[in-house]
Amino acid sequence: MTAKRTQMEPKFEHQKVEQTITQKWEKADAFKTVRDPNKKPYTILLPPPNASGKMHTGNVLMIAIEDLLIRWKRMQGYSALWVPGTDHAGFETQVTYERELSKQGKSRLDFDRNTLYDSIWKFVQDNKGLIEEQIKQMGASVDWSRYTFTLDPKALEVVHNTFEKMVNEGLIYRDDYVVNYCPALGTTFADLEVNFVERKDPLYYIKYGPLTVATVRPETKLGDTALAVNPSDPRYQQYIGKEIEFEDVMGKNKLPVIADSYVDMEFGTGILKVTPAHDKNDYEIGIRHNLEIKSVIGLNGRMAENTRKYAGMKVKQAREEIVKDLQNLGLIEKIDYEYVHLVPVSYKGEKEIEPLVLPNWFVKVDSLKKPALDAVLNGDVKIFPKWREITYVRWMEEMRDWPISRQVVWGIRIPAWYNVQENPEITVTFLNKQGKVETGLISDLLKNYSFEEIESGLQNLVAPKNAKFIVSKNKPNGQYLQETDTFDTWFSSGQWPLTTLGYPESEDFKYFYPTDVLETGWEIIRLWVSRMIMFGIYMTGQPPFKNVYLHGMVRALDGRKMSKSLGNIINPDEYMEKYGVDALRMGLISGTANGKDFAFPKDKVIGYRNFTNKIWNMARFMLMMMDKYEEENNSTAIPEYEKLNKNDLTDEDRTMINGLNELIRSVDNSLEIFRFADAADAIYHYMWDELAAKCIESVKVREDKRIALSVLRHIFKECLKLLHPFMPFVTEAVWEKVSEQDNSLLALTSWPKEE
């Protein structure tokens, strides 16, 4: 024992210790979970980070919390499984790859769909090792033997089966729908994925015969199919139900005037031009009043053929030209150049959204959302902190049918097939043998090209909403083209609990499902959490997890949201390098405010770096006192606390043991209700204020050092166990020095219990 004690370095060096300890855990296969019928399972699924990305502070907080929970339960004797995985991340990854292409002077349009997919696949495989290494660097005690990537064959199998089941049960349909389309990214976005930025634009007051309309988008007037006024507006009662004629940039025109309560009497002139094909609210008005839906902007963000002289122009160019033409015709009454309004942009990259009507795949949510709502209201799924529950409840009550198709290559391709003879009106874009892009109706293209050439060079297709299709994982016999849309990533990641555990027949699924805790950021409670609960109940009859813990967003040091443009992004790698993983983990955990957003706690990280040094020095000092005692007493070893005659304990010893009992109870109670910061603070203050400041100081002057050192070592070891889930590296390194068993791993020891 003495030899081991003398090996302790004079100071704690996290760079050396972290790598050594990680290798020790890996060599022992410490975190590979075995299904044990004599143990209760405890399961957490790692929310999959982007496979080709890098960890941000939110990922670090997530891993710190989940590792804390899984280590705690593992030490308590549960069969604790933490499943790691990464996400293909759909359009986010494709956009990243396209940036690489642009550096080479290329774009996605230079490739057929399959070639582009294979290239992105290679790009992801070449880069996804980075995020995996970062997860390991964080000390995450995941079971790597169960690692899952969202494009693994087992993931495709689950997603395809769910889709086929939903099609067969009438829960999937295709329809024209106004969607949030981003021409720059080439995909649609759900309402929740759209942000709004404030911008100043000209507000044009345009004459429609005797009426005047205020709009920031004169180019969409080419798709107007009505003018609307509020039924309570006394100014326009004489026009309701009538048709007005007026001069326009396209010649003579006429539109009906309808009454709809959506119209804001206070905005502009109180008259709304209704363009159902290019505005979501106008679309709803169009449905209510059975208006024509007239598209004038295409998927490429340019004006459509039916706009005549403006055809082919980009939207902003067309706006300028139409305004000039309107002015020449004397149809601009005035322009307000100081008008400030909100512009919809995608939540990734903040590219402008263009509302368009497209055929899309939809999920009918009515029968799915009620059981998912009831699961939370009935307490089958508990949300922590409780005050976040209302966000979930309101979303489930308001949820509309969900568009699940995305016009990107990278992702899980929808397994629907169209027979080209049965669907002659499919629009196809492909690369011919000369590498030239061709677009047209499949019936026309087949007159000049073979089916094989079209299929080989296929880039994308758009099938009418009533197109006939077959759902199949494999290509049917005959001339079939597969749908080129991919599933919304929330559709595939919404089945993460099923995918990772091998639904439906695996032994893992039978043992570990439903999982215990879903831990993630509050901002995706609607995007992801709701969908997992819906799919879990739909496919298995049970919610996929019992508890949901929603952590807050980590903001910049100044409390603002991190942003490249603001230059306030915090790189967690730099903090791990400078202060150590333990300090970063503990700083974030103790800094989190029970699910609320919080500024990055730099001071706490530095404080916990000092705490790691304190723990190391406490261990060194204790071992030095033990060495000295044994040298002075002819190598008589300090007895284990369990072997002491408790009658020999002093009142001071009993007070310290009682304090330890209170600490154990406090930590357990806090962790049970996900009060992580409270548990962290309790351990910190006990070890610093009681163990270091009182207990160790007391031992220095105690005459009965045999008893005093035994009690001190016991309390110190129990504190290491309590602290281990929070700060795994320093505690494991110190345990190696103070444990009486060779090759003992703190990670696999039993959790402390009250005496």
Closest CA to 224 of 206, 239, 236: 206
Chain segment 363-400, per-residue pLDDT in tens = 999 999 999 999 999 999 999 999 999 999 999 998 98
Q: At what angle do helices 676-685 and 581-591 cross, to 10 degrees?
A: 120
Distances (CA, A) of 644 to 475, 567, 634, 638, 709: 74, 59, 20, 10, 11
pLDDT of residue 187: 65
pLDDT for 4 beyond 50:
no
Chain segment 42-86, per-residue pLDDT in tens = 999 999 999 988 889 999 999 999 999 999 999 999 999 999 999
pLDDT for 301 beyond 90:
no
pLDDT for 6 beyond 60:
no
Q: How confident is the model at residue 221 (pLDDT cuts 50, 70, 90)?
A: very high
Chain segment 662-705, per-residue pLDDT in tens = 999 999 999 999 999 999 999 999 999 999 999 999 998 898 99
pLDDT of residue 192: 61
**Interatomic CA distance for residues 590 and 573, integer angstroms:** 19
| Cβ-based neighbour number of residue 54 at 10 Å | 14
Average the pLDDT over each of 296-305, 559-568, 699-708 and give the range with the smallest value.
559-568
* 415, 580 Cβ separation under 8 angstroms: no
* 81, 513 Cβ separation under 8 angstroms: no
CATH number (3.40.710.10, 3.30.450.20, 3.40.640.10, 3.90.740.10) of 189-355 reads 3.90.740.10
Cα end-to-end span (Å), the chain:
27
Whether CATH 1.10.730.10 fits 602-748? yes
* 244, 255 Cβ separation under 8 angstroms: yes
Q: Which residues of 434-473 are buried (b: 16+ CB within 10 A; e: fewer)?
A: eeeebebebeebbeebebebbbbbbbbbbbeeebebebee
- State the number of CA atoms in the 13 A half-sphere of 280 facing the CB: 11
pLDDT of residue 181: 84
pLDDT of residue 186: 66
Encoded tokens for 92: 């986010």
pLDDT of residue 349: 65
Chain segment 451-470, per-residue pLDDT in tens = 999 999 999 898 999 999 99
Chain segment 124-178, per-residue pLDDT in tens = 999 989 999 999 999 999 999 999 999 999 999 999 999 999 999 999 999 888 8
**Interatomic CA distance for residues 182 and 344, integer angstroms:** 10
pLDDT of residue 652: 92
HEC secondary structure over 667-700: HHHHHHCCCHHHHHHHHHHHHHHHHHHHHHHHHH
**Interatomic CA distance for residues 50 and 591, integer angstroms:** 25
pLDDT for 711 beyond 60:
yes
pLDDT of residue 591: 81
Rounded CA Rg of the chain = 32
Encoded tokens for 392: 């979930």
**Runs of H (alpha helix) within 37-112:** 57-75, 90-103
Helix, strand, or coil (residue 372):
helix
pTM of the predicted structure, to 2 decimals: 0.86
pLDDT of residue 3: 46
- State the number of CA atoms in the 13 A half-sphere of 244 facing the CB: 21
* 131, 51 Cβ separation under 8 angstroms: yes
| Chain position carrying tokens 């003579």 | 252
Chain segment 327-362, per-residue pLDDT in tens = 999 999 999 999 999 999 986 667 889 999 889 899
Chain segment 583-628, per-residue pLDDT in tens = 999 999 998 777 889 989 999 999 999 999 999 999 999 999 999 9
Q: How confident is the model at residue 2 (pLDDT cuts 50, 70, 90)?
A: very low
Give 620-624 contacts, CB < 8 A, sequence gap 24+: 620/8, 620/10, 621/696, 622/696, 622/709, 622/712, 622/713, 622/716, 622/738, 623/5, 623/8, 623/737, 623/738, 624/5
**Interatomic CA distance for residues 331 and 198, integer angstroms:** 28
pLDDT of residue 272: 97
Closest CA to 410 of 54, 114, 104, 55: 114
**Interatomic CA distance for residues 32 and 256, integer angstroms:** 69
pLDDT of residue 102: 86
pLDDT for 728 beyond 90:
yes
**Interatomic CA distance for residues 460 and 174, integer angstroms:** 17
Tell me where in the chain the CATH 1.10.730.10 domain(s) lie.
Answer: 602-748
Average the pLDDT over each of 299-313, 482-496, 554-568, 599-613 and give the range with the smallest value.
554-568
